[in-house]
Amino acid sequence: MKIRNRKDSEKMELDLTSMIDVVFLLLIFFVMSFKIVEMEGDFSVKMPLASSSSAVADPTDLALKLRLRANTEGKLTDMSLNDINLGTDFLALQNKVIELIGSTAPVEGEDGPELEIDTDYNLRYEYVIASITSVSGYKDGDQVVKLIEKIKFAKPRR
C-alpha cells in the first residue's frame, strides 16, 4: 500500500502550467466571441413595380387602403383604413381588418385581400412595422392567425 501511495504522488508532479495557459486562452477566446443573438424574423412581401400590378388589378379584389399620418417628429397622429378613421389604435385597426375581410379564416396564398400602405414620408418605420403586424395577423395562443398577406406600398410622398 505504501508503494502505491508513493506512485500517486509522483503522478501529481505533472506540470500543468502550459495546459492551463492554453485552456485559459481558449476560455478567453470563447468568452470574447460570445454574443447573445436576438431572434429576428421577416415579413415577406412580394412587391413588383407598381405600374404593372395596377394594370392587371382585379376589380373584384378588396381594395384596402391604409393611410398613415405623422406629425413633424415622425410620430403617428392618426391612421385610416378605407377612409375610416382609427386614431392611433392598432387593435382597432386589426378589428376593422377582421370585419372588412369577412372572416378570420386563414387566407391561402395569392388570392387573399391586398392592402396598400400610404404613409407620410417622415413617419417612423416602427409604426409601419406595427401596422403591418396588426394587419397581417394575430396570435391566438401559440397559433398565428393570418389576415392579409399581400402588402404593398403606395408611392412615397415627398
Looking at the DSSP bridge assignments, the partners of residue 134 are none
Q: Does 94 bind another protein (CB under 8 A)?
A: no
Give me the least distance between CB of 66 and another protein, in Å please: 12
* Closest to another protein by CB, 48 or 59: 48
Q: Does residue number 6 form part of the binding site for another protein (CB under 8 A)?
A: no
Q: Which residues of 3-34 are buried (b: 16+ CB within 10 A; e: fewer)?
A: eeeeeeeeeeeeeeeeeeeeeeeeeeeeeeee
Rounded to the nearest 5°, which phi and psi values hold at 64?
-105, 135
Q: What is d(CA 34, CA 8) in angstroms, rounded to the nearest whole number? A: 39
- Tell whether residue 129 is a contact of another protein (CB under 8 A): yes
User: Can you give the binding site for another protein, defined by CB under 8 A?
Assistant: 12, 16, 19-20, 23-24, 26-27, 30-31, 33-35, 37-50, 68, 74, 119-130, 132-133, 136-139, 144, 153, 155-158
